Structure 1
Amino acid sequence: MVEKIKKKIKKLELLSPAGDFECLNSAIESGADAIYFGLQDFNMRGRAKNFKISDLEKIKKICDKKGIKKYLTLNTLIYDNELEGIEKLIKKVCGYVDAVICSDISIMLLCKKYKIPFFVSTQVSVSNVESAKFFKKLGCSRIVLARELSLNQIKKISKVVDIEIFIHGAMCVSESGRCFTSQFLFNESANRGKCIQPCRRKYNVFDDKGNSLKVDNNFIFSAKDLCTLPFFEKIKSSGAVSFKIEGRNKDPVYVSTVTRVYKEALDDKLSEERIKELIEELSYVYNKGFSSGFYKGYPTRDDFSKIENSSATEKKLFLGKIEHYYDKLGVGLLKLNTGSLKIGDFVYIIGKTTSVKRLKIESMEIENKSVNEVKKGMSVGIKLPNVRVRKNDSVYKIVKKKG
């Protein structure tokens, strides 16, 4: 009875991706309760920047200072010749992470050996109560459920063990990610973190006699992104304790935007009007259109993307870097390496410590004289009210993408 009461009052966790330090700090500043990250080996985002072993102490220091949980992904398949190496890695991460997210039982056993909590990855495709009981008995602290489950199925399994579910981001056409297409076509295994995403390409379809078939969408394998914001109140009452944002390959602007939006949704019950406003903000950053995945039923043809690249309504153009920040004046000196900037433009300022700042340019000066526009090669002081930036922070102009 006491255990049930504890589970009911357990704080819901917003879990954000961190592919590098800029993303890590952006996630924390935007309201994440926990971050998940990979090292250079043994994780499902092998093509992301990822971190080095030597970064673990800095990651721990940043997160512990803010009370942020940190989870390491070691969720690829492991071969016999790698067992010694993975054990050495597990020993090295002891004391630096709060849990390891893994799919291979060899890693689960090593986590038990070295007393590191472990979460069962979505790669394992846990889809029922009995499987959940098995992994709980094995010693897992949490299960990231298969992505093919409905909210009702999730609620049932959540009574057995702590559950983590995805709430936003890219979806593999194989959903839980155990796809062999990249391995079969290009000898680059998705299950080893090396997927080159052949599902995102356009295909011609032929019948067994070689006749070309007309289809209304040649991106026949390209799933839209998951977006649960329109029904997030149902997500919060699903029984899951952790809500995960996909995106370790994404940039700091994506991490910052999506984390901030879902933090607001987690903390408050949003009006229909506010949901519409926030969905528009989500559309600013990388996406392939939005879908409810399997949460509200089986996906239909409308849940497949019809474009090759992103549907984002905004893009960022690199301008240059901050050369100096005058703290007392609240002014940053920007050297434009390319492009132009004028009063009224919106910019992102991005840095490892600064994270992501979005602001409107309202005042610019050159040698104490106000200017309305600057171009490539010029240095300009820009007023930064309530924003602290740092030398070498990158500055990008935000422009609307043409429909």
Structure 2
Amino acid sequence: MTELSAPCHNWATLNAAITSGADAVYFGVKKYNMRMNAENFSTAQLAKITKHCHSNKVKAYLALNTIIYENEMRNCEEIIKISKKAGIDAVIIHDLGLIPLLKKYEITFHISTQASVSNSNAAQIYRKLGAKRIILARECSLKQMREIIRKNKSIEFEAFIHGAMCVSISGRCLLSQALHQKSANRGECMQPCRREWTVTNETGKLVYDGKRFLNAKDLCTITILPEILKTGIRALKIEGRMKDANYVSTVVKVYREALDNYNKKRVPEWLERLKSVYSRGFSTGFYKENPGQESINYEADNNASPTKKEQIGIIKNYYPKSKAAEILLLNSGIREGDEIIIEGSTTFLKQCAESLQVNHENVKQAKKGSRVALKVQEKVRKNDNVYKLKKV
């Protein structure tokens, strides 16, 4: 069975990944991961995370996938020791210097896409070093993937299928470090590639105004998923450790459905659902051919989704016996049938508003400033935020 691996950075996104059908989740702690600007977990939470994942038959992978400096090795060893005790299923690494420590504590490790493994010889070297799995460079084509996998039957391979793409080669970008002293290879990328740029010659004359000509569209492979599976890939990965729980839930559900029962007739529907959450527009990356101008979003660096999330209120009470919640509508009203999201530090729930009541009277809508009760499909918590999804 092909494994579906989903991103998370807090309890809400973790629960969203699990309930939406992920086979595995990957996440970082406060140090040494490629999304240092994400919320991330603490090392003290690793045992609880692993226990929660395993109780739901989901694997837990810790990303320790930045370049590591000499003075950081002791801290890394402490994280690895805690990971071993917590029962983490594997640690994802980039820096070869961590391999002796992982072997010392007998922890399974995967090689990050940051290592930009793009050929079978490199894969064989990592296998000899003890890696169980290699996450291939995003720059590999389907043909190249197929050959690498064919020549390396004794190691697992994983590939990205959805999410943000870098205009540079995996693990090789120095632009953020050069401009902002924030290294992309240390998880601190400031994404200067997403900005507007112009090219001038030495006299200052404009040579090219391509606006955001380095701003790569997001990877989306729902249209070519069967071709990816035919390569013999062992695991599929969704990018998004900076994204919210709605993004994680939506994307995981779509690819779960596609993996379980792929039907070409459903592709338009799946695409619409993927477009409903954050993206910069879609391309199939390097899988079919080298991406050209069509893979760049020249106009905008932000969300291309036509669906926006508007906060309308907060949860004031939850009534478990009646499976209902009371919402204080702070910013906007609500109507029966509105698609809403309830999200908190551990909560994530997406549903349509139904069975509305104000002062114990059934209503079809409630105005801003009122308290409204409604049926909820899962447990929610006091002070959870309530959002309404709107087309714009």
Q: With structure 2 as the length reference, what TM-score do the two structures score?
A: 0.95
Supply the distance in 1 between the matched residues of 2:96 and 2:229 (Cα, whole angstroms): 30
TM-superposed CA distance for 1:265, in Å, is 0.8
TM-superposed CA distance for 1:388, in Å, is 3.9
Supply the distance in 2 between the matched residues of 1:209 and 1:162 (Cα, whole angstroms): 53
Deviates more, 1:369-378 or 1:218-227: 369-378
2:226 alignment counterpart? 233
2:357 alignment counterpart? 365
Aligned ranges 1:32-51 → 2 under 5 Å: 32-51=22-41
Native 8 Å contact 1:180 1:189 kept in 2:
yes
Supply the distance in 2 between the matched residues of 1:248 and 1:305 (Cα, whole angstroms): 21
Does residue 20 in structure 1 map to residue 10 in structure 2? yes
Does residue 392 in structure 1 map to residue 383 in structure 2? yes
TM-superposed CA distance for 1:41, in Å, is 0.2
Q: 2:220 is matched by which residue type in structure 1?
A: C
Does residue 119 in structure 1 map to residue 110 in structure 2? yes
1:184 alignment counterpart? 178
Query: 2:62 is matched with which residue: 62, 67, 72?
Result: 72
Query: 1:194 is matched with which residue: 188, 195, 199?
Result: 188
Cα RMSD after superposing both structures: 1.4
Supply the distance in 2 between the matched residues of 1:132 and 1:262 (Cα, whole angstroms): 27
1:288 alignment counterpart? 280
Supply the distance in 2 between the matched residues of 1:254 and 1:204 (Cα, whole angstroms): 32
Moved over 6 A (4+): none
Aligned ranges 1:180-329 → 2 under 5 Å: 180-215=174-209, 217-271=210-264, 273-306=265-298, 307-329=300-322
Native 8 Å contact 2:21 2:253 kept in 1:
yes
Query: 2:80 is matched with which residue: 90, 103, 108?
Result: 90
Supply the distance in 2 between the matched residues of 1:371 and 1:88 (Cα, whole angstroms): 56
1:131 alignment counterpart? 122
Native 8 Å contact 2:340 2:387 kept in 1:
yes
Aligned ranges 1:338-349 → 2 under 5 Å: 338-349=331-342
Does residue 158 in structure 1 map to residue 158 in structure 2? no
Q: 2:134 is matched by which residue type in structure 1?
A: I
Task: Name structure 2 gaps, 5 residues minimum.
Answer: none
Supply the distance in 2 between the matched residues of 1:124 and 1:24 (Cα, whole angstroms): 26
Supply the distance in 1 between the matched residues of 2:345 and 2:188 (Cα, whole angstroms): 26
Supply the distance in 2 between the matched residues of 1:47 and 1:182 (Cα, whole angstroms): 14
Aligned length: 387
Deviates more, 1:151-160 or 1:257-266: 151-160
1:93 is paired with a residue whose SS is helix
TM-superposed CA distance for 1:352, in Å, is 4.5
Task: Name structure 1 gaps, 5 residues minimum.
Answer: 1-10
Deviates more, 1:126-135 or 1:316-325: 316-325
Deviates more, 1:78-87 or 1:244-253: 78-87
TM-superposed CA distance for 1:83, in Å, is 1.4
Native 8 Å contact 1:17 1:36 kept in 2:
yes
Q: 1:227 is matched by which residue type in structure 2?
A: C
Q: With structure 1 as the length reference, what TM-score do the two structures score?
A: 0.93
1:4 alignment counterpart? none
Cα-to-partner distance string for 1:274-304 (whole Å, 9 max, x where unaligned): 1011100000111000011000010010000
Cα-to-partner distance string for 1:36-74 (whole Å, 9 max, x where unaligned): 000000001000000001111210121010111010001
Supply the distance in 2 between the matched residues of 1:387 and 1:197 (Cα, whole angstroms): 37
Native 8 Å contact 1:182 1:196 kept in 2:
yes
